[in-house]
Amino acid sequence: MQEALNILRLINDVVLEPNITSAIIILIFAFANELVAVVPYALILSGQLIFLDDTLSLALLAKLLVFVAVPVGLGSAIGTIPFYLLAYFGGKPVVNKFHKYLRFSWHDVEKVSARFTGVWYDEIIFWVLRMVPVVPSLPLSLTAGFFRMRFWPYFVLTAVGLTVRMVLTLLLVGFGVGGLSGLLFLIYNS
């Protein structure tokens, strides 16, 4: 029980008192979490705003962006690379071999692929899906690999999308905890 409380205090310090050390810890944890999907870390990190003594301010939001959201975005983007590469280089043989576990076949991949023609807005759709907090990351990474998305656009859109996802989660939780009064305070005192 004491270990759990110590972990909660550590997470609380990392989020509410962000600095470069906590950013590195968050980056490493986000990378590892993306690989093995341990916990819903975005909710755990943003949930620490419950313990915030003051209202959510622009200064704290800026710190959370730099020291929490960006490390989460970069760490998670790096953590998605193995799945992207597996789908990119494995493709059809991997899907055919593991289709029972994946719950889709290569035929399904081809049907979805027919709808994406390689136009510029395909990447915008991918980026928007990366930003949505409830959309799981693994299927998007595999899909990008199956569709042979170029690596650098994939990585940049993933990093930016996951950073925006973390910011949205922090904002939703932060304003949810602070309520409408916190939002009005932020708007009128900035």
Burial letters for 108-143: b for 16+ Cβ neighbours within 10 Å, e otherwise?
Answer: ebeeeeeeeeeeeeebeebbebbbeeeeebeebbbb
Task: Delimit the domains of the chain by residue range.
Answer: 2-188
Confidence (pTM)? 0.80
State percent of the chain over pLDDT 90. Answer: 23
Q: What are 26-79's pLDDT values in tens digits?
A: 898 889 888 887 677 776 777 677 766 666 778 888 888 899 899 999 999 999
| Helices 2-16 & 20-36 angle (0-180, nearest 10) | 120
Residue 180 is predicted with a pLDDT of 45
Rounded Cα gap, residues 7 and 39, in angstroms: 14
Least confident of 4-18, 20-34, 100-114: 4-18
Residue 187 scores a pLDDT above 80? no
